[in-house]
Amino acid sequence: MTRPPLDATEAQFRLAMGRFASGVTVVTTVVDGAEHAMTASSVCSVSVEPLLFLVCIERDARFHDAVVGAGVLALNILSADQRAVSEWLATRGRPVHGQLERVPHVPGPATGAPLLAGVQASIEGRIDAVHAAGDHSIIVAEALAVVLDPRPPEPLLHYRSGYRALASLSALGPPPPRG
């Protein structure tokens, strides 16, 4: 079997990565009382001992310096009906001040970072490490507090450059037992 030529382009890479369905989150922080937020889909769990998760943030994004400077963040996992929230907080050039005025939220008890209402879950964290990776930073955070919706709504997904929804999760039945 012959190998295809190694000629990956940015366009091909974006198309390929767009075929990886991911959840949509909003990452928040607070600096000197000012709330900052951005939509992110490059997020994952890292470890359960200790409890670590990561988020990738473009170094040129104004949120980058805010969150690194604050040292804390909250990861808000969006529900299917929060597409407008995701779109608003992904808009480049939106006002820095008051960007969360139209989004119901409360300060997180562990970090003060905004926890959005109506999300599937929120995880507050303290930044553990920041790693340079191309034009982004990989920000690793230790989970300090978790808030779960006891009856989570459908998740908001991103797939092939668009927002998607799952077929009803209830049709899948309860998750299998662990262990």
Q: How does DSSP assign 57-119, residue by residue?
A: EETTSHHHHHHHHH-EEEEEE-BGGGHHHHHHHT-TT--STTTTTTS-EEE-TTT--EEETT-
Q: What residue segments make up the domains of the chain, in order of their start? A: 23-163
Beta-bridged to residue 104, according to DSSP, are: none
Q: Does pTM top 0.85 for this prediction?
A: yes
Angle CA 162–23–18, to nearest 5 = 45
Q: What's the pLDDT tens digit per position in 55-106?
A: 999 999 999 999 999 999 999 999 999 999 999 999 988 888 899 999 999 9
Confidence at residue 169, expressed as pLDDT on a 0 to 100 scale: 46
d(CA 12, CA 18): 10
> CATH number for the 23-163 domain, one of 1.10.3720.10, 2.40.50.140, 2.30.110.10, 2.60.130.10?
2.30.110.10
Confidence at residue 178, expressed as pLDDT on a 0 to 100 scale: 60
What is the rounded average pLDDT for all residues in the chain? 90
Other residues' Cβ atoms within 10 Å of the Cβ of residue 62: 13
d(CA 86, CA 44): 18
